[in-house]
Amino acid sequence: MSEIITQDPTPETADDEAILTPIEEVQRSNRFSRFVVQPMLIGIMVASIAGAFLSILNSASGRLPWLWMFLPILIFSLEGVYTTIWLTRPDQRLLNKTLYRAAEVLLIVVTVRIYSWWLTNSWPTVADLEVYLRTPSEIFADPFFFASAAILFMAWGWGLVLSEAFQHLALNSAEMRYYNMPVRERPAIERPSTPFRSLAYEQYGRHFILGAVLITAFAALSTIEIADLSSNNWRGIRRLPFPAGMLAALLAYFGAGFSLLSQARLAVMNSRWLYGGLDKTIVVEQSWVRQTGWLLALVGTIAAFLPLGSTTLIGRLLEGLIRLVFWLAVLITSLFAALFAMLFPASENNEEFIPEEFVPPQILPPEPISDLPPAEPGFPIIGTLFWIIAIGVTIAAIAFFLNDRGIKIPMPNWRKVWSAITNWWNSLWRIVVNQAVDLRDAVVTRLVRDEIEPDQNRPWRFIRLNSLNPRQKLRYFYLSTVQRTEQGELARDDSETPLEYAAELKEHLPQVAKEIDAVTAGFLQARYDDKEVTAADVAEIEPLWKTLRKSIKSQGKQKNDPPVEST
Amino acid sequence: MKNLIGLILFLLAVAFLFRVDFIFYIIYVCIGLYVWSRWGIPYRLEKLKVKRLFQDHAFWGDKLEIKLRVENGSFLRIPWLEIYDSVAVQLSATRPINTVIPLPAKETAEFDYEVSTHRRGYYRIGPTRFRTGDLFGLYEEHAVELPAQYLTIYPRITPIERIQISSRLPFGTIISKQQLFEDPARPTGVRDFRSGDSMRQINWKVSAHTQNLMVKTLQPAIYLETMIVLNLFGGDFASWDKHANIEWGIELAASLAAHLHGKRQPVGLASNGTDPLQTDSTHPPEFDPTSGRLINQADSAQTLYSLPPNNGRAHLMKLLERLARIETAEVANFNDWLRTTTLPIGWGGTALVITPQADDQLCQTLHHWVRRGINPILIHTEKSNRFYAVKDRARQLGFVAVEVSAPADLEVAFN
């Protein structure tokens, strides 16, 4: 006896708030499918294909841990899917999505780089860091990292495409709100735009078929092994047993793919039912999901008990047919090639082939090897700048990526650091500016005073000899000597060089000629030579300078004393 | 997903060339899903039994429930079934069935909704479309349709307790004030003999018993064979309330017919309006999207008709059915039509002429009827100042004219 299901076409609004209305129930169901089921299925699909490809790579190059890349691929596929869902939220419409994706890419690159170092246990040494500092591109010159990143980006991109297709397929809240209003109360201006859901469904279907072709090809490739690729010998091909991981990947891909196909179909139907004003209860969606699962399980179980294709008679017939078609294709191609060879022979003029005269290669003399020592590497300014910018951009990208997800980086500390740096810089700048202002004022004062009193001597000042460095001391010895001689006949003319003046001075003070030469030589060394002046030089010249000073003093006293009249 | 076949072929080629047996398993799954979509859904739809249950005739104001029964006769579950039922807007009391359900195997779903019966007419219920498909979109959807059925809503009948309509036919069942039509089958008592009484009316038994001549008293009665003549020429109705006046005319005709049927009198109908079901086949009638009623096309040839007087329940229902479907016409002027038509009633019959307005020409036409022995009664259904002139003219010409522009006027006008 059949059970009668009576459906009320006009569902009453629940008075009790705890009881969900049919629309709320459907929305909740949609949310679960959209945020839990679909991302998981997309992640499984993408990871299955990537896993199959990694399995092939693992077979081809077993020394590298390719299979361990499965984990980040799964994680970042899910991350990409959830990011897509998050970016399509209405409250994120003002967010710069391109910048956000760029930050995501940077984060993936950094993570894969660190993960690949960890997997291959090849953490960079200090020497490696120095190389990276000088040539930043060297950090990417790792085939494993490069290939891993490429595979991960392809998987991540595939996840994004599938996720975007499902975001287009899903009903948004504006549509649900608008089309659940009575027809007469719907304001035309608030009518939400309708996404092309059938196109999104077809887009998913194309990607599903493409992925199925790829994973099947990977599965087929995993069963053969070419012993020696270099020998170009096809007899070296060896058959391998079908790997269990590939079997799991195939099952996971097709199971998830068909389930997602059903979800996509449900989304298309949901929009049609909403737009058409059809009453729908949560039972429809629950039944849809349940029946999809049961159907896949039933068909899968029945298929498991069917004889395998190659063992059946029809399988053999088909195999023979395919081989026949293949053989015919080869035959036809060969016939055409032969026909072309007959119609268009290699040389139409039948001229004899004259080989070119052999010209022995010219041997150039070896280039002279420069005897210059190799230049010492300078400070890697560009590399340092690159890494400073790269690290800064990475930190900013991670902060940007996490900040909007609700993960707050402790920004007050960074602000403190930044404020300390800016304060230090400001105080330094103030000091420099003040000194520049003082200097300018001193120069201006000096110039003004020179203009007003050009003949007046400079004001004297005390100089503490011990506060001077060796170079300044040597200069002081000479200049103080010149200053002492300015009052008398020994005054230095402005046009005289130090050596000319030394010669003149020696004429007047021949007893201290040696001291004059030493002080002048010390001055020239301190003034014009970049050779380092040491305390020893000062110690050598200082007693000579003192002797010279006494001699000049005594010379001056003799001049100032009144002549003693002889009696 | 037309590419699924291509995928299956590709998988077959790979499976045979590389001898990977597990790929056959995937092929079987793909083929299984395709077969389920390709042949499973049509099979279920073939086994779907749908039925619409309702009374196809309803009186004005009745509560009418339409029930739709959908039974999945197959052994497989229908994953989703869209049901679109279309009902005229004027009938919609509750939302029609526009829903989607899953239907398990061998189970039945029932839907019911009410329609409003506050407008007479001939309405279409349905068609109801059922559409289903697979869960993956691997194959196109399939649909079946439950053909439309029709609902007739009779015009509103205003109950009339008692009206006085004169007739020239004696020996009927309606009590009359005119002694001329005393019915010997209706004795009411006896009285003393008066000079001039017929000897045949003396009740001899009572006279012997009372020792005094007593005469039988008989109740007078008439036989009221009536023809209702309804004017539905569109040009005769005032434009300011045309629709209401048309409906009132039809309602009045239906009320009078029902009353006369209640008195067991034969009643017929003649009108210059049209019945959309009786038009020529070259211009079939269509359902008006606004009112939902069946209406004639503008250029279709109109069939004027009359129902000869008869009594009995079946005849009344037939008459009411006509009145439910009848629509105004623009081609046959009422007066011209009356002159050319022949009423299917004999001498002494009564013609209730229902018209929104009357003039001297119409009075002249009715006078011809009087002269032919027909008893016309002019019923004016629109309020008009000129009616008094018409009434005087009718009295001069030997027939009665009354104005009935509202239900309240009915008994006042005829008594």
Give the tens place of pLDDT for each residue, A222-281.
Answer: 887 766 555 555 555 677 777 888 888 999 999 999 999 999 999 999 888 888 888 887
What the block records as the tokens of A208 is 């599903």
Span between the terminal Cα atoms of chain A, in Å: 169
pLDDT at B283: 64
Q: Judge: B29–A254 Cβ closer than 8 Å, yes or no.
A: yes
Question: Looking at this predicted complex, what is its ipTM?
Answer: 0.71
In this complex, the residue of A205, A224, A264 whose CB is nearest that of residue B3 is A205
B32–chain A nearest CA distance, Å: 6
Q: Judge: A261–B137 Cβ closer than 8 Å, yes or no.
A: yes
Which range, A227-236, A334-343, B27-36, is most confident?
B27-36
Q: Judge: A308–B16 Cβ closer than 8 Å, yes or no.
A: no
pLDDT at A156: 92
Q: Judge: B100–A10 Cβ closer than 8 Å, yes or no.
A: no
What dihedral do alpha carbons A51, A55, A61, A66 form, nearest 10°? Answer: 30
Distance CA B19, CA B27 (A): 13
Residue A29's pLDDT band, with cuts at 50, 70 and 90, is: low
Which residues on B lie below 8 Å from A268 (Cβ)? 137
Chain B interface mutation, best of A3, A216, A323, highest count of B Cβ atoms under 10 Å: A216
Residue A327 has pLDDT above 60, yes or no: yes
The mean per-residue pLDDT over the stretch A32-39 comes to 86
pLDDT at B216: 87
Residue B379: left if φ>0, alpha if ψ -120 to 50, beta else—which one?
Answer: beta
- CB contact, 8 Å: A194 with chain B? no
Which residues on B lie below 8 Å from A247 (Cβ)? 22
Q: Is residue A516 part of a domain?
A: yes
* Number of other residues whose CB lies within 10 A of the CB of residue A356: 5
Distance CA B80, CA B48 (A): 13
Q: Judge: B98–A213 Cβ closer than 8 Å, yes or no.
A: no
In this complex, the residue of A262, A279, A322 whose CB is nearest that of residue B13 is A322
Q: Which of A291, A306, A321 is where one domain is finished?
A: A306
**Domain that includes residue A496, residue range:** 465-560
For residue B127, whether the previous peptide bond is cis, meaning omega lies within 30 degrees of 0, is yes
Residue B351 has pLDDT above 80, yes or no: yes
Q: What is the CATH number of domain B226-414?
A: 3.40.50
Q: Judge: B102–A284 Cβ closer than 8 Å, yes or no.
A: yes
pLDDT at A10: 44
Give the number of domains in chain A.
Answer: 2
What the block records as the tokens of A119 is 């997997």
Residue A566's pLDDT band, with cuts at 50, 70 and 90, is: very low
A317–chain B nearest CA distance, Å: 11
**Residue (of A216, A288, A220) closest to A29 by Cα position:** A288
The mean per-residue pLDDT over the stretch A283-287 comes to 86
Residue B330 has pLDDT above 80, yes or no: no
Which residues on B lie below 8 Å from A299 (Cβ)? 28-29, 32-33, 36
Q: Which of A263, A285, A306 is where one domain is finished?
A: A306
Q: Is residue A89 part of a domain?
A: yes
The mean per-residue pLDDT over the stretch A349-358 comes to 56
Identify the closest residue of chain B to A6 by CA–CA distance: B110
Better-scored residue on pLDDT, A204 or A382: A204
* Number of other residues whose CB lies within 10 A of the CB of residue A340: 10
Contacts of residue A308, defined as CB under 8 A and 6 or more positions apart, other chains included, come to A315, B21, B24, B25
Q: Which of A306, A334, A349 is where one domain is finished?
A: A306
pLDDT at B298: 55
Would you identify the CATH topology of the domain B47-153? Answer: Immunoglobulin-like (2.60.40)
Enter the DSSP assignment of A35.
I
Identify the closest residue of chain A to B72 by CA–CA distance: A2
Beta strand segments in A115-265, E = 224-226, 237-239
Contacts of residue A406, defined as CB under 8 A and 6 or more positions apart, other chains included, come to none
Q: Give phi and psi for A225, each to the nearest 5.
A: -140, 130
Give the B window 122-161 contacts with A, CB below 8 Å.
134-137
Distance CA B16, CA A324 (A): 12
The alpha helices in A369-469, defined as continuous H runs, are 381-403, 411-452
- Per the prediction, chain A carries an average pLDDT of 79
pLDDT at A345: 65
Residue A312's pLDDT band, with cuts at 50, 70 and 90, is: low
Residue B413: left if φ>0, alpha if ψ -120 to 50, beta else—which one?
Answer: alpha
pLDDT at A567: 35
pLDDT at A494: 82
Residue A422 has pLDDT above 70, yes or no: yes
- CB contact, 8 Å: A12 with chain B? no
Task: State which H helix or E strand residue B343 sits in.
Answer: none
Distance CA B321, CA B154 (A): 6
